Amino acid sequence: MRHRNTFAVLTILVATTATAAIPSKAVQDLRRHFMEPEVNALTFHEIDKIFDTKPVPRGARSTPLQGTDHPLNFTYTVGGKQIPAEDALERTFTNALIIIKDGRIVAERYRNYTDRQSRFLSMSMAKSVTSILVGIAMDQGKIASLDDQVTKYVPELKGTAYDGVTLRNAIDMKTGVDRDDNAQLKPGTPDAAMREKILITGEKPASYEAALVKRKAPPGQAFEYSTLNTTVMGWVLERATGVPYITFMTDYLWKPLGAESDGFWMMAGQGGEAAPVPGMGFNATLRDYARIGLLMLNKGRAEGKQIVSERWVAESTEGPHTPNSPGAAFGYRHFWWTIPGSPVFEARGLQGQNIYVDPATRTVIVKLSYEPLDNHQAGEESQAFYRAASAWSGR
């Protein structure tokens, strides 16, 4: 691979064939390369042309979003220099951007052959969607407590590294399971072969890995980011509610939210084992991602209804949250990123996918990007842009 981290990061991408036979070698090779900078400006909004998917149907009525696009007539600071906000679109590899203030659109941009109907890959913003669904299941009494053991809902995980792990451990990324998303796997090893079957050929579902990983630390102690934890929480959600993940999301989030378009999930596994990838595989329009941000900004309310409880939103997003490590800029709670000392919270996804919510200024920003894997500077610059956009008047 040309970019050394691509296969390592593909360990989070368990999107594979859902009902079809093992794909051709050409398609397998495309799946190995779709994240690379030569193509990702296009592939990130054409996922249904690369992987098998399943829709999340919209309801009969969508929540209207009013407002209009304005020039980005502000600046932001990077390295002591003032950068015109319009320059951020190219500098930070932006496919689409929307800024909403007090419920009204003040900027909306589409680039690289995208438009209002384009559906963009969420990457790990999907974890925050899963968080909302867990909150809804708790509101309904389907999940009794985050202090329940994972094995209460998924007894198949007894005797595995997830035995003794609570839902709280999993949703806060403190399971102690040896499955770091950034782990480098040596070609030819059993672990590499397992990932290939899950990620590329689609012979196994995402949950297959949960029974095979080892433990490296006691549950509840150290933060370590692992998409497998979200896969397990999706499994818990299905068992707790008694309905498929997508059905639950459609009935209790997507339709009540007033989404204007169908979303869709990348699927893992084949036949009866096929399931969505709750940690990274959601796809939706720019405006529908903004509706998720507005739902959280409005303390769980949309369309005049309480979709998820105010208690769950507060527990997920309101600080103070302990940084993930000494000096870290971000905290983490219930699959949402937080900023200690600030009311801001975010859904964040690999290569520049963000839903940024600032309750202090009533601002929601969604930015969908195609950053190169190794370009960390673009992510830092995007944060500077968000801060300035949040303080901007919107006129």
pLDDT tens sequence across 174-216:
999 998 777 666 677 777 777 777 777 767 666 778 888 999 9
Q: What's the CA angle centered on 35, arms 29 and 41, to 5 degrees?
A: 120
With beta carbons less than 8 A apart as the criterion, state whether 91 and 381 touch. Answer: yes
CA 67-291-301 angle, 5° bins: 110
pLDDT tens digit sequence for 160-179: 999 999 999 999 999 999 98
Q: How many CA atoms lie within 13 A of 320 on its CB side?
A: 5
Tell me the CB-side half-sphere exposure of residue 263, using CA atoms within 13 A: 31
Cα–Cα distance between 230 and 228 in angstroms, integer?
5
Burial class (CB in 10 A: 0-12, 13-18, 19+), 159: exposed
| Residue 273 pLDDT | 81
HSE on the CB side for 27, CA within 13 Å? 18
Residues of the chain with pLDDT below 70 are 1-20, 183-186, 202, 204-206, 319-327
Q: Which helix (H) or strand (E) holds 267?
A: strand 263-268
pLDDT given at position 185: 65
Write out the two tokens for 184. 């480098």
CB–CB of 65/290 below 8 Å?
yes
CATH number of the domain at 57-181+205-265+285-391, please?
3.40.710.10
Cβ pair 21, 56 in contact under 8 A: no
Spatial neighbors of 97 by CB under 8 A, at least 6 apart, are: 89, 107, 108, 109, 286, 365, 366, 367, 368
Phi, psi of 265 (to 5 degrees): -110, 140
**Pairs from 247-252 (Cβ < 8 Å, separation ≥ 24):** 248/133, 248/136, 248/137, 249/56, 249/129, 249/133, 250/56, 250/57, 252/133, 252/136, 252/307
Q: Rounded distance, CA 43 to CA 33, Å?
A: 10
Mean pLDDT of the chain: 90
Phi, psi of 177 (to 5 degrees): -80, 140
Q: Which of 34, 52, 33 is nearest to 44 (CA)?
A: 34
DSSP summary character for residue 215: B
What's the pLDDT score for residue 113? 98
- Considering the entire predicted model, what is its pTM? 0.93
Q: State the Cα–Cα distance between residues 126 and 281, nearest whole angstrom.
A: 6
Residue 17 confidence (pLDDT)? 35
